[in-house]
A = this chain, B = another copy of it.
Amino acid sequence: LAIVLGANAYGKAECRVVRIVRNGARHEIRDRNVSTSLHGDFAAAHIEGDQARVLPTDTQKNTVYAFAKDLPEAEPEELALALARHFVTAVAPVAGARVAVEEYAWDRATVGGAPHDHTFLRRGQEVRTTHVTVDDRGGEWVVSGFDGLVLLKSTGSEFRGFLEDGYTTLQPTDDRIMATSLDVRWRHLTATAWASSYDGIRTLLVERYAEVHSRALQQTLWEMGRAVLEQHEDVAEIRLSAPNRHHFVVDLAPFGRDNANEVFFAADRPYGLICATVRRDDVPCAEIAWDAWPPRAAGGSPDGR
């Protein structure tokens, strides 16, 4: 019974690169976390310990920094494509490359009412993401998205008429808080104006979250995804992952107070987790493109903290 090497990949995860564009006194900042992953014929490295075909992960890191220098104006998608194409083209043993970019947003500081030339404040918690896959047969997949957009609506959400069984104790409600921390990915069919596409899709998702009277989180996700596909022809499919951050109405009756959806306990765990894909009927799925493979480990801290 033969034992064989299966799927494998390797790369450098979490290269933290800050690019300052110094066009005169007014600087721009690009703050990114870049991860690379290569696959190809690396059997000898595994089975014989022969590194002759292995480009070190340290070299991949150097390449990330050199490309950041060369491409000062690149959107994350462009930087990721340039890097992935380079590895597939210039490094013989590489059959495919995946590059993931997280981008952290900064606002200009306001000083005396005006935006400052070279001082910036980190904006928000959400992270813009890009996952690009390039193979040596001409395939290219670009997935854009974000992680951690935290949304809450204080009304306009209900949950009732659900299936019940012997383990059901939940009461139906026609007015509740609906809150989530959205992770979204969408796959592009063609190149586009990446920055304005990103801004447009993010705005649309927020608007639909606000406007749809929600009979369940599932319905809201569907309406959000559908709107994106209707208005963005270059998007083949979109995936939404939404933890349901439960806000429970606190019982104040023992203390002689009513509570008409005014005071809530925001719970940590457990939480509902709702995931949905919205896609075009005539476009095949592309599993390869959704995430850089292998998934990144949980963090770089050697202390486990």
Contact = CB atoms under 8 A, between A and B. Distances in A.
Given A14-B269, A51-B162, A55-B168, 7 more contacts: A3-B280, A10-B272, A15-B269, A16-B266, A62-B168, A181-B302, A243-B297
A226 interface: yes
Top 3 nearest A-B pairs (CB, nearest first) are A49-B215, A6-B277, A275-B294
A95 interface: no
10 contacts: A7-B276, A8-B276, A13-B272, A17-B263, A45-B219, A51-B215, A53-B163, A59-B167, A109-B207, A111-B206
B112 A207 contact: yes
B52 A161 contact: yes
Contacts of A280: 1-4
Nearest to A12: B270
A206 B114 CA distance: 12
B167 A45 contact: no
A192 B107 CA distance: 30
A20 interface: yes
A300 interface: yes
Copies of this chain present in the complex amount to 4
A10 B279 contact: no
Nearest to A150: B122
B118 A161 contact: no
Q: By DSSP majority rule, is chain A's interface helix, strand, loop, or mixed? A: mixed
A90 B300 contact: no
Interface in A34-49: 35, 37, 42, 45-49
A197 interface: no
A72 B233 CA distance: 46
B121 A207 contact: no
A132 interface: no
A269 B300 contact: yes
A68 to B, nearest CB: 5
Contacts of A154: 20, 22, 27, 29, 118-120
Interface in A17-31: 17-22, 27, 29, 31
A279 B3 CA distance: 6
A262 B162 CA distance: 30
A195 to B, nearest CB: 18
B209 A304 contact: no
A198 interface: no
Given A151-B121, A260-B22, A262-B21, A277 B14 contact: no
